[in-house]
């Protein structure tokens, strides 16, 4: 009799725990979807296209597909601190032309040819420029804790005739 009571008690506790976990999952899904819903789809503001990590966008006019892979380096000076150098964030962007193989380019927040940092790249008659990288690191949130949460703003425009080479 004693064993039956213990088994029954454990069964009730297990079911109660499962029900609590289901409620927790449903609440967190609702909160997550309401917070992230504006960022789910690429947004356009002033000809700037915003992409979250892992997102892609097709540009029919330039016959290319652009995808934001990840941030490979973020050495920007955290807000609220004093630094000697402003730092740089480098975004790995995958570009696929209709008649070309995928190509990963590194777009930086600053232009520095000596370190091979470039803000823009020419591809398929268009110039792809990195406009912004968010969120900006803080003393509490460094680049490691921001991994997977980055969002970039890029601008695609027609390439000038004299600069029509691909870097």
- Same domain, yes or no: 79 and 114: yes
52 and 26 together in one domain: no
Considering the domain architecture, whether residues 20 and 49 belong to the same structural domain is answered as no
pLDDT digits (tens, 9 = 90+) for 30-88: 333 222 333 444 555 567 899 999 999 998 888 889 999 999 988 888 887 888 888 89
Domain count, the chain: 2
Residues 66 and 105 in one domain: yes
List the structure tokens of 155. Answer: 């601008």
Measure the CA–CA gap between 71 and 150, rounded to whole angstroms: 7
Sheet (strand 43-45) strand order: 43-45, 48-52, 151-158, 126-134, 120-123
Rg (the chain; Cα; Å): 23
Structure tokens at 76: 């920007």
Which whole number is the average pLDDT over 134-147? 75
Residue with tokens 């080479």: 165
Q: CA angle 163-157-143, nearest 5°?
A: 100
Together in a domain, 28 and 5: yes
Give residue-wise pLDDT tens across range 86-136: 889 999 999 998 888 899 999 999 998 888 899 999 988 889 999 999 888
Q: Both 1 and 81 in a single domain?
A: no
Per the DSSP assignment, residues forming a β-bridge with 71 are 91
pLDDT higher than threshold 90 for residue 140: no
Among the listed residues 32, 51, 54, the one whose alpha carbon sits nearest the alpha carbon of residue 43: 51
d(C-alpha 16, C-alpha 13), whole Å? 5
- Structural domain of 55: 43-163
User: Are 111 and 86 found together in one domain?
Assistant: yes
Asked whether residue 74 falls in the same domain as residue 124, the answer is: yes
Same domain, 80 and 139: yes
Q: Is 113 helix (H, G, I), strand (E, B) or coil?
A: helix
């Amino acid at each position: 009799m004693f064993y039956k009571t213990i088994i029954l008690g454990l069964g009730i506790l297990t079911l109660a725990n499962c029900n609590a976990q289901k409620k927790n999952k449903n609440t967190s899904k609702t909160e997550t979807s309401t917070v992230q819903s504006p960022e789910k789809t690429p947004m356009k503001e002033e000809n700037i296209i915003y992409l979250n990590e892992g997102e892609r966008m097709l540009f029919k006019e330039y016959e290319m597909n652009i995808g934001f892979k990840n941030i490979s380096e973020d050495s920007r000076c955290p807000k609220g601190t004093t630094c000697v150098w402003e730092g740089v964030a480098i975004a790995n962007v995958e570009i696929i032309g209709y008649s070309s193989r995928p190509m990963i380019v590194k777009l930086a927040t600053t232009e520095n040819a000596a370190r091979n940092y470039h803000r823009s790249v020419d591809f398929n008659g268009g110039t792809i420029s990195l406009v912004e990288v968010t969120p900006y690191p803080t003393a509490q949130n460094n680049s490691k804790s921001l991994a997977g949460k980055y969002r970039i703003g890029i601008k695609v425009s027609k390439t000038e005739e004299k600069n029509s080479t691909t870097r």
